[in-house]
Amino acid sequence: MSRRQTAPGAAAFRAPRARRAATALVAAAALLATAGCATPSASSTEATDSAPPEITLTFAGDVHFEDRVAELLDDPASTFGPVTDQLADGDLTLVNLETPITSRGTAEVKNYVFRAPDAAVPAMTEAGIDVVSLANNHTMDYGRVGLADTLEKTASGGLDTVGAGDDIDEAFTPLHRTVQGVDVAIFAFSQVDDLAEEWAATPDRSGMAMAFDTERAYAAVRAARADSDLVVVLPHWGAEGDQCPTGRQLDFAAGLISAGADVIVGAHAHVLQGAGTMDGAYVAYGLGNFLWYSEGLHEPYSARAGVLRLTVRGREVVQSEFVPTVMTSTGQPEVLTGWQADLARHNFDGLRECAHLGPVLNDE
């Protein structure tokens, strides 16, 4: 089943981006007018045509709408608060949706069970979020009925999903989004063991794309590498509360890169983990809790997170920017400034050491 798209379905929710696009068109027209009848040389034309465009991918961590966060849905347009400016500042924004969107189904017998009302969808699209990962350990908290509702409500609301589907082929099929002519293939896989067998998609049942089926995951990434301009993977992995990646994370990241992944941005640990370069690819092991019900300013600092913005040219991340956030009493993320932001970025950079990652060379 093809999930290739050229125009984002949620464009109607992104008025600021539409204005930016219009401004760009006016600027381009002005540039052509000032150029007059001058004819560019063949060599300059070839150089322009051969240079790949730069695109900006924006990522944030775990999102759900439990307890205190649920109250924010009374006004979906303001649910994420001022951090919306950071989320919408890019070409494509992706987060991990740690909840089904449903009022039906039977709750699983487990420690933490989440679900969200329909208002969660406009809350995310109004914040500038384009794509959510469903390959995690809460998407099916209310069973396959809850998963079906989530897929239907996100689709009808203009929010793209990845990592789950009506069968195994759909769950492992990448979502394709075209950004400035660049075909971006997006995957999501869950490496969490709890209920993995029960929630896994199969040929005749709905579910999620599970990372334990490594050969299928690697084969899907290899196929996308040959059929797209950029491959992005959103894994759900790691040990909760551990700021360093586990051996399983390291192994899976290496396998995904070998198969052709260009950008890997994970979730699940509920704390920040290291981010940087690895064998020609970019890996961010975890971005923490972004919109969440717990506070946790004490260790392991589960209220500290951030927005990660990557500038990509061709298949290479040429610049990364981390905008640190901290969770407020409402559950909304607040952007840190001044010395607090500088310290947060310094600490985030320090996480590269135990993750065995290198810096992006163009970063200041």
Count of beta carbons in the 10 Å neighbourhood of residue 158: 18
Cβ atoms of 210 and 168 within 8 Å: the answer is no
Q: Is 36 left (phi over 0), alpha (psi -120 to 50) or beta?
A: left
How far, in whole angstroms, is CA 346 from its chain's centroid? 23
Statement: residue 1 has pLDDT above 90: no
Q: What is the DSSP letter of 98?
A: -
Per-residue confidence band for 133, with pLDDT thresholds at 50, 70 and 90 = very high
- Average of per-residue pLDDT values in the chain: 88
**220 three-class SS:** helix
> Each residue of 257-267: pLDDT tens digit?
999 999 999 99
Q: Is 143 left (phi over 0), alpha (psi -120 to 50) or beta?
A: left
Statement: residue 120 has pLDDT above 90: yes
Cα separation, 88 vs 77, whole angstroms: 13
Statement: residue 342 has pLDDT above 70: yes
Cβ atoms of 255 and 242 within 8 Å: the answer is no
Which candidate, 360, 323, 362, places its Cα nearest to that of 345? 323
Of 5-19, 152-166, 271-285, 322-336, the one with minimum mean pLDDT is 5-19
Domains in the chain, start-ordered, CATH in brackets? 44-355 (3.60.21.10)
Cβ atoms of 222 and 121 within 8 Å: the answer is no
Q: Which amino acid is at 254?
A: A
Q: Which amino acid is at 133?
A: S
> Each residue of 46-93: pLDDT tens digit?
434 578 899 999 999 999 999 999 999 999 999 999 999 999 999 999
Per-residue confidence band for 361, with pLDDT thresholds at 50, 70 and 90 = confident
Cα separation, 204 vs 84, whole angstroms: 39
Q: Which amino acid is at 87?
A: L
Per-residue confidence band for 302, with pLDDT thresholds at 50, 70 and 90 = confident
Mean pLDDT of 289-298: 78
Of 11-20, 53-62, 278-287, the one with minimum mean pLDDT is 11-20
Beta strands in the chain (DSSP E): 4-5, 54-63, 92-97, 131-133, 160-162, 164-165, 175-179, 182-190, 207-208, 230-236, 263-265, 275-278, 281-284, 289-291, 304-313, 316-327, 333-335
Q: Return the residue matching tokens 């040429």.
A: 318
pTM equals 0.87
Per-residue confidence band for 6, with pLDDT thresholds at 50, 70 and 90 = very low
